[in-house]
Structure 1
Amino acid sequence: MSGGPLPVRGTLGFEQLVPAALAHRRGLAEVYVADTAVVGSAEYLAAVQVPRAHSLWFDRLVAYHDPFSAVEAVRQALLVVGQRHLGVPADAPASLQRMTFAVEDLSAFRDSEREPFEGIVRLRPGAASTERGYYREVSFDATLTVRGALAVTVRGSGITFPRDAYDEFRELQQDTRAALAPTATPAVRRLPPELVGRRDPRNVVLARTTAQELVLVVDRSHPSFFDHQYDHVPGPLLLEAFRQAAVLSATAAGLLDSPVAAVLDLAAQFTDFAELDVPIICTTAAVGDAELDEITVEVALHQYGKRIALAHVELAHYPATRERQENTGS
């Protein structure tokens, strides 16, 4: 894309954002959906744009937009389309259970350093099933195109609750878990940002305990992960933990030359809500072939002594990173 701004792409506009409440966000800078449209009987489009100077997504060490910002844009598109076009109540809580994310063209994320990262989400919701009126299980299939090129594919499923049912369920769950909470929380030391490919310490979501366990940092003052208050650890924070743990593990195993790496593929399962005030332990197992750039890390999150989430993360060097290292002989 070159020249001046193009405010309209076909029938979709990029001139203003949707109301923040539709994207379940509080801060206007945290809203990425500009417009939506219906395509046929079972497809929807959303125009999305990520701010260039975003405190989380611009915190990177390579001239590529963060592929995880595309995942967040798709997540918001699902919420907006659900309310605008599918009759999902505005206050209906949603819980992601399974998700796969694949970068189809890494070059689509190159940063021109002149324009924001924007594109078109094409969303195909699956059929919804209802369990005794208590929740609705829904699936989705989404793609993001950037300048006409297919950039990512995101697929997944989750459940939406009626607000009253969700509040009742979570109150009972938290009351049951209260007796299981540890009496003392171990002291932690947040990892240096350079170990996980970040510059800003605020965006580091992992720490070591005095026993050298890897644990999640749940910083409720973070302006993006906690744009508003939650009664559990939000999904985007868990995804970032998967990414940072995978990078840390692959670098330590010698599979990555540096923690400046791209996530090419991620498959995750979430089996329970992660509570805010109880330590979440992170374990990893890295496998792969550094010469072939085949690097996969299994990351598991544990709370109350049981696994609550599992992901397989495929990593790769950014082309510019590898070229720069080869040219400098490092």
Structure 2
Amino acid sequence: MTTLSTPERRAGLSFEQTVPCSQAHRRCLGEVFVADTAALGGTEFLAAIQIPRAHSLWSDRVAPYHDPLAVIEAIRQAMTVIGHRYLQVPSGSPLSLQRMQADVEDLSALYEQPGTPLEGIVRIHTDRQSGGSGYFTDSSFTATLTVGAATALSVRGGGVAFPPEAYREFRTHQQQGRPPEGEPAAPVEPAPPGRVGRRDPRNVVIGDLPVDPGDSATMPLIVDQLHPSFFDHPYDHVPGPLMLEGFRQAALAIAGPQAVVALNARFSGFAELHGRLDYLARYDGDAEVDIALSQFGTTIAECLVELSPHPIDAQPRGALR
């Protein structure tokens, strides 16, 4: 049972059921990770989150540590739910993440406990005020996940909410300036699952690269629109969680399977569903991998990934190849 500190206990948060799918911008019940929320007053909020034990993507890992990107996805959902419930963000408003800094504060808090899902309390502060549309206003947030008594992970970032009609007009104008969709690209050979911290080949999202890539390498992003988690519902662009997973896998592919302990990402453009997307990863040989994502000759996102070896007492589940 999760033990809550005094403010969380007073809030009466529950893990009994998930919030409505529409509030989390998800289509499938199994893709909703937010159980409950509460307002603490002003711009402070709480959310109860839980990551399923048998999720086809987030439970697919070779080390007995929950994936920080699963937590980031849960926090992203929590921010969306809070926007709709408390900050008057109209239902159906597209949200665009512009920047994100995530830090694993205590890796041991993400250690997999047999028979127990990862669940905890996220405390969120945002500078977005309730009332008014808030459209086109860059809103910042900070979020901290507590698992039991441990501070597990913190996220800082910001983004913009679009009016639905304005978003459609913006994307139509943007796509008119892009090369038209041509012949289907040649199939990409995915990287071996173990090389990018996965066991299921379907969850590999980058193309293979040389066995010894040196200190830099280019690898394509695999956009599978039939993937049940990344494409839980239709998109007119490549979704952010898939781009982040590509950053993570590109870092592991060039630096070797390790724990991701920090991500610092910036998004400067939408990734179209057609047109090759390439990651260029540069490894400093120590702990950091600097990665840029480009399409049509333009960099549309960048991410600095910090890695750390898993503790030596953690035995990988399944052999790497």
Is the TM-score greater than 0.5?
A: yes
Distance 1:142 1:262 in 2: 21
SS of 2:176's equivalent in the other structure is: helix
Structure 2: which 5+ runs fail to align? 211-216, 317-321
Aligned to 2:19: 18
1:199-258 CA distances to partner (integer Å, 9 max, x unpaired)? Answer: 000100001499x9510000011110000010000000000000000011112xxxxxxx
CA contact (8 A) 2:64 2:315 kept: no
In structure 2, relative to structure 1, the CA distance for the partners of 1:172 and 1:209 (3 Å cut) is farther
The offset of 1:318, in angstroms, is 1.1
- 2:190 equivalent to 1:190: yes
Alpha carbons 1:189, 1:209 under 8 Å: kept: no
Please give the alpha-carbon distance, in whole angstroms, between the structure 2 residues aligned to 1:272 and 1:207. 22
Residue of structure 1 equivalent to 2:88: 87
Aligned partners of 2:76 and 2:308: how far apart in 1? 24
Q: Counterparts of 1:91-106 in structure 2 under 5 Å?
A: 91-106=92-107
Contact 2:38 2:46 in 1 (8 A): yes
Q: 2:304: which partner in 1?
A: 312
**Secondary structure at 1:155 match in 2:** strand
- Report the counterpart of residue 220 of structure 1 in structure 2: 225
Mapped to 2, the partners of 1:155 and 1:99 lie a distance apart of 6
Quote how far apart the aligned CAs of 1:172 are: 1.1
Shift of 1:148: 2.1
2:199 is aligned with 1:202 = no
Give the percent of matched residue pairs that are identical in Structure 1 and Structure 2.
51
- Which one has a larger percent strand, Structure 1 or Structure 2? 1
| Structure 1 counterpart of 2:261 | 264
Q: How far apart, in 1, do the equivalents of 2:118 and 2:72 lie?
A: 13
Relative contact order, CA 8 A, sep 6+: which one is greater? Answer: 2
Amino acid at match of 2:178: R
Name the SS for the 1:141 alignment partner: strand
Contact 1:136 1:161 in 2 (8 A): no
Q: Describe the SS at the equivalent of 2:137.
A: strand
Q: 2:2·2:148 contact (CA, 8 Å) conserved in 1?
A: no
**Residue 117 in 1 paired to residue 122 in 2?**
no
TM-score (norm 2): 0.89
Instruction: Name the residue aligned to 1:292.
Output: none
Contact 1:186–1:209 (CA under 8 A) maintained in structure 2: no
Report if the CA contact (8 A) 2:218-2:281 is conserved: no
Work out whether residues 126 and 141 of structure 1, in 8 Å CA contact, stay in contact via their aligned partners in 2.
Answer: no
| Matched residue, 1:328 | none
Matching residue of 1:281: 278
- Aligned-pair CA distance for 1:134: 6.2
**Regions of 4+ moved over 4 Å:** 181-184
Letter of the aligned partner of 2:67 in structure 1?
D
Give the whole-Å Cα distance in 1 for the aligned partners of 2:78 and 2:140.
Answer: 14
Unaligned runs of 5+ in 1: 252-258, 290-294, 326-330
- The reply to whether residue 239 of structure 1 matches residue 240 of structure 2 is no
| CA positional deviation for 1:40 | 2.3
Task: Give the C-alpha shift of residue 277 in structure 1.
Answer: 1.1
Q: Would the alpha carbon gap of residues 224 and 324 (structure 1) be closer, same or farther in structure 2, given more than 3 Å must change?
A: closer
Aligned amino acid, residue 237 of structure 2: H
Cα distance in 1 between the residues matched to 2:48 and 2:9: 9
Corresponding residue for residue 294 of structure 2: 302
Corresponding residue of 1:66: 67
* Structure 1 residues 149 and 209, CA gap change in structure 2 (3 angstroms): closer
Give the aligned partner of residue 38 of structure 1: 39
Tell me, yes or no, if the aligned pair for 2:98 and 2:266 is still in contact at 8 Å: yes
Over 3 Å counting, the alpha-carbon distance change for 1:318 and 1:231 in structure 2 is: same
CA-to-aligned-CA distance 1:55-88 (integer Å, 9 cap, x gap): 1111011111111111011000000000000000
* 1: CA distance, partners of 2:2 / 2:79: 29
Shift of 1:137: 1.5
- Report what 2:175 is aligned to: 174
- Identify the residue that residue 75 of structure 1 maps to in structure 2: 76
Task: Quote how far apart the aligned CAs of 1:147 are.
Answer: 0.6
Letter in 2 for 1:240: E
